[in-house]
Amino acid sequence: MGRILDGINSAEDLRRLPRESLPQLAQEIREEIIQVVSERGGHLASSLGAVELAIAVHYCFDTPRDRVLWDVGHQAYAHKILTGRRDLFPTLRQYGGLSGFLRRQESPYDPYDSGHSGSALPIALGMAEARDLKGEDYRVIAIVGDGTLSTGVAFEALNCAGAWKSDIIVILNDNEMSISKTVGAISAYLSRIMTGQWATRLREDVKQLLHEVPGGKKLFRLMKVTEEVLKGVFSPGLLFEELGFKYLGPLDGHNLDHLIETFKNVRHLRRPVLVHVITKKGKGYAPAEKDPTTFHGVGRFDSENGILPEPDGLPPTYSEVFGRTLLQLASKDPEIVAITAAMPQGTGLHDFSKRFPERFFDVGIAEQTAVSLSAGLALCGLKPVVAIYSAFLQRAFDQIVEEVALEKLPVLFCVDRAGIVGEDGPTHHGLLDLSYLRAIPNFTVMAPKDEAELQSMIVTALSHRNGPSAIRYPKGRGYGVPLQEEPHPIEWGKSEVLKVGSDLLILAIGSMVHRALQACDILQQKGVSPGVVNARFVKPLDEETILDLVASHRVVLTLEENVVEGGFGSGILELLSRKGIPKKVRCLGFPSRFIEHGRREELLESCGLGLKTIVKQALELLG
Ligand SMILES: Cc1ncc(C[n+]2csc(CCOP(=O)(O)OP(=O)(O)O)c2C)c(N)n1
């Protein structure tokens, strides 16, 4: 028998299928997702959990005329397969291939470019309002996870949609997980709804209230406040109803009949509606159901048994080195506290959270709150360390400026995934942080050349009590240099001179220092006399050393894994201009455009930061 999926090249094709064949279709989609992700890596668990949801949404709504906005987009693989991208699905997340998220240029079924959590809701609201203003007629559907409800922007949009009585459908895809377990009171509320505990809890609350008023006990008995009565009186989604939404649910998100029935009814409502759907992250693939955090975003694995390749013998990742070092320092210093925005595993803080639960704060997907919280902790004398990925820290720019830098608070920002992150692409590359952090007064900005230097920078930054510091480091593993038992500090504001020459001076920062040394070897073989400086600090710059060396070399090349605009190289140009020093300088970094997805080396190469190109640029500069 042929596969049903073979006949599906668009949502139209799907809508022609009889309902009975949909469970089989779901099965085939799951097999395809598991196969491709096991070979290429990707976001497995969330996508497996949303297979029925994707089928039901496209089955009931008139897509792409109706607009479906998947929040983040990491759960939308079934959506991609169903909407004419099945043939390209094996190119997922590869250079030139399909994106791991929604991309407008990729398909008319993707109404926006997704990647950062929480934005589907406000963007969907904008679309719904635009549709009404223009007198058009289509449905706007935002599909958001329960983790997303910890995000401020999502709540801000719910707040407006309810008040404006906007015609918008929100599907809450609740799997009780963010990447790790969802945190916070909203998540506890949702799980009470799921288990029916809301009624018990409400009964207890009413009982306590009535016991506190004269005659209340009698009243309570009289009211016979049972769960059944309460269930009839109160909606389980009271919170959403109070916000102005019609609440429907909770529904079994893997029961296609229930989903289709509900979506068909909802399609005709013209008001804010929230459909609460319960799904299982990793559904249909036992290893992912068992360990959804590992299978949230995963590299290659054996699809037969879900076993991941052992990283035996490989150097630790920068995140691991950060986590270990902080744990070590925190065991001796009770004032150190750690903050994450929903990424305890990714940032390397998992062990810290187990060892010092009272000194660990996971605020959910709420980067702004993470930063403001750290300001509060610092104002009360603690030493907060905020670990956030570079691209997500962009959310909290205002809090960094207003609440931390302006107050000169000693908060340490450990900016993970800085630079190219690879397969996640433009929404996740961290190519702006050097520019935006460098511009902020009172800030210190550093980047280590390797994992051992990261340790030193953490110690150094924690002893700096006169303002905030940021240490930015890349995704992935270090070089395998020995880690320090007792990390020693480096000199504040001082660079490291690695080589002195006379022709070309390479000033490099962070992940580019290693590459600068490689380029230096090649240049030497070509008869050039190069010098190399590991800048260590982007702010403050080690002016004295840099100016001395600039004077003794003919030309200067700066190297950074950041956009050139406003970055490290700009800092050098500003310094030379301020001092009135005429010098031939070339700044190499990323161009000011959004960089696609692909392997790191491929992307560096394509943007002029491959080793050969650097050497070529150096030779050109030397004339
Ligand atoms: C602003 C921002 N911060 C962090 C992330 C990283 N991130 C990607 S998916 C995810 C969890 C989302 O949880 P949920 O919405 O419940 O979806 P699920 O993965 O459970 O399906 C997180 C934290 C992000 N994409 N955007």
User: Does residue 54 share a domain with residue 112?
Assistant: yes
Predicted pLDDT of residue 189: 84
Q: Is 83 exposed, middle or buried, given 0-12, 13-18 or 19+ CB atoms closer than 10 A?
A: buried
- Number of separate domains in the chain: 3
Q: Provide the total of helices (H) and of strands (E) in the chain, helices listed first.
A: 26, 17
Predicted pLDDT of residue 197: 65
Q: Report the Cα 444 to chain-centroid distance in Å.
A: 24
For residue 296, how far is its CA from the centre of ligand 1 (angstroms)? Answer: 10
User: Does residue 570 share a domain with residue 537?
Assistant: yes
- Nearest alpha carbon to residue 615 among 522, 513, 511: 522
184 vs 199: CA distance, rounded Å: 20
Q: Is 281 a catalytic residue?
A: yes
Q: Is 367 a catalytic residue?
A: yes
Atom of ligand 1 nearest to the CA of 395: 1
Contact assessment for residue 473 and residue 446, using Cβ atoms and an 8 Å cutoff:
no
Atom of ligand 1 nearest to the CA of 145: 15
220 vs 211: CA distance, rounded Å: 8
User: Does residue 509 share a domain with residue 380?
Assistant: no
Predicted pLDDT of residue 180: 85
For residue 179, how far is its CA from the centre of ligand 1 (angstroms)? Answer: 6
Note whether residue 300 is domain-resident: no
User: Does residue 346 share a domain with residue 429?
Assistant: yes
Note whether residue 310 is domain-resident: no
Residue matched to tokens 């560096």: 604
Low-confidence ranges of the chain (pLDDT < 70): 1, 196-203, 205-206, 210, 216, 218-234
Residues 6+ apart with CB under 8 A from 185: none
User: Does residue 223 share a domain with residue 77?
Assistant: yes
For a mutational test of ligand 1's pocket, the pick from 101, 117, 393, i.e. the residue with the most ligand atoms closer than 8 A to its C-beta, is 117
325 vs 455: CA distance, rounded Å: 6
Note whether residue 556 is domain-resident: yes
466 vs 90: CA distance, rounded Å: 51
Predicted pLDDT of residue 621: 97
60 vs 182: CA distance, rounded Å: 29
User: Does residue 344 share a domain with residue 445?
Assistant: yes
User: Does residue 335 share a domain with residue 278?
Assistant: no
**Of the residues 472, 487, 515, the one at which a domain ends:** 472
339 vs 596: CA distance, rounded Å: 30
Contact assessment for residue 300 and residue 35, using Cβ atoms and an 8 Å cutoff:
no
470 vs 542: CA distance, rounded Å: 16
Q: Report the Cα 185 to chain-centroid distance in Å.
A: 21
Q: Which amino acid belongs to residue 89?
A: F
Say if ligand 1 is within 6 A of residue 145 CB.
yes
Run of H or E including 559: strand 555-563
Straight-line distance from the first to the last Cα atom of the chain, in angstroms, rounded to the nearest whole number: 68
Atom of ligand 1 nearest to the CA of 148: 15
For residue 395, how far is its CA from the centre of ligand 1 (angstroms)? Answer: 14
Domain CATH number, residue 534: 3.40.50.920
Q: What are phi and psi of 206, to 5 degrees?
A: -65, -40
**Of the residues 267, 288, 309, the one at which a domain ends:** 288
623 vs 616: CA distance, rounded Å: 11
Structural domain containing residue 81: 4-288
User: Does residue 158 share a domain with residue 113?
Assistant: yes
Say if ligand 1 is within 6 A of residue 424 CB.
no
Say if ligand 1 is within 6 A of residue 279 CB.
no
41 vs 534: CA distance, rounded Å: 34
Contact assessment for residue 445 and residue 437, using Cβ atoms and an 8 Å cutoff:
yes
Identified catalytic residue from 367, 403, 423, 561: 367
User: Does residue 202 share a domain with residue 333?
Assistant: no
Residues 6+ apart with CB under 8 A from 444: 461, 464, 467, 468, 469, 470, 493, 537, 539, 540
Say if ligand 1 is within 6 A of residue 180 CB.
no
For residue 159, how far is its CA from the centre of ligand 1 (angstroms)? Answer: 21
Identified catalytic residue from 40, 139, 281, 359: 281
Note whether residue 388 is domain-resident: yes
Predicted pLDDT of residue 178: 84
Q: Which amino acid belongs to residue 259?
A: L
Say if ligand 1 is within 6 A of residue 148 CB.
yes
Predicted pLDDT of residue 220: 66
The CA distances from residue 470 to 317, 433, 437, in Å, are: 18, 10, 8
Say if ligand 1 is within 6 A of residue 281 CB.
yes
Domain CATH number, residue 372: 3.40.50.970
**Residues 146-185 pLDDT 10s:** 999 989 999 999 999 999 999 999 999 999 888 888 888 8
Residue matched to tokens 């289509």: 138
Contact assessment for residue 602 and residue 95, using Cβ atoms and an 8 Å cutoff:
yes
Say if ligand 1 is within 6 A of residue 342 CB.
yes
Say if ligand 1 is within 6 A of residue 142 CB.
no
For residue 363, how far is its CA from the centre of ligand 1 (angstroms)? Answer: 13
Predicted pLDDT of residue 130: 98
For residue 564, how far is its CA from the centre of ligand 1 (angstroms)? Answer: 29
3-state secondary structure of 380: coil
Predicted pLDDT of residue 214: 73
Identified catalytic residue from 67, 395, 417, 515: 395
Note whether residue 486 is domain-resident: no
Note whether residue 296 is domain-resident: no
Q: What are phi and psi of 444, to 5 degrees?
A: -110, 135
Q: DSSP string spanning 489-533?
A: P--TT--EEEE--SSEEEEE-TTHHHHHHHHHHHHHHTT--EEEE
User: Does residue 83 share a domain with residue 10?
Assistant: yes
For a mutational test of ligand 1's pocket, the pick from 365, 367, 397, 421, i.e. the residue with the most ligand atoms closer than 8 A to its C-beta, is 365
The 10 Å Cβ neighbour count of residue 244 is: 18
Note whether residue 439 is domain-resident: yes
Atom of ligand 1 nearest to the CA of 43: 19
**Predicted structure pTM score:** 0.94
For residue 177, how far is its CA from the centre of ligand 1 (angstroms)? Answer: 9
**Of the residues 268, 288, 308, the one at which a domain ends:** 288
Contact assessment for residue 609 and residue 558, using Cβ atoms and an 8 Å cutoff:
no
Q: Which amino acid belongs to residue 250?
A: P
The CA distances from residue 55 to 110, 116, 220, 318, 322, in Å, are: 15, 24, 47, 40, 42
Q: Count of residues for the chain?
A: 623
User: Does residue 503 share a domain with residue 367?
Assistant: no
User: Does residue 524 share a domain with residue 460?
Assistant: no
Predicted pLDDT of residue 1: 62
Asked whether the bond before 426 is cis by omega within 30 degrees of 0, the reply is no
Note whether residue 309 is domain-resident: no
The 10 Å Cβ neighbour count of residue 431 is: 27
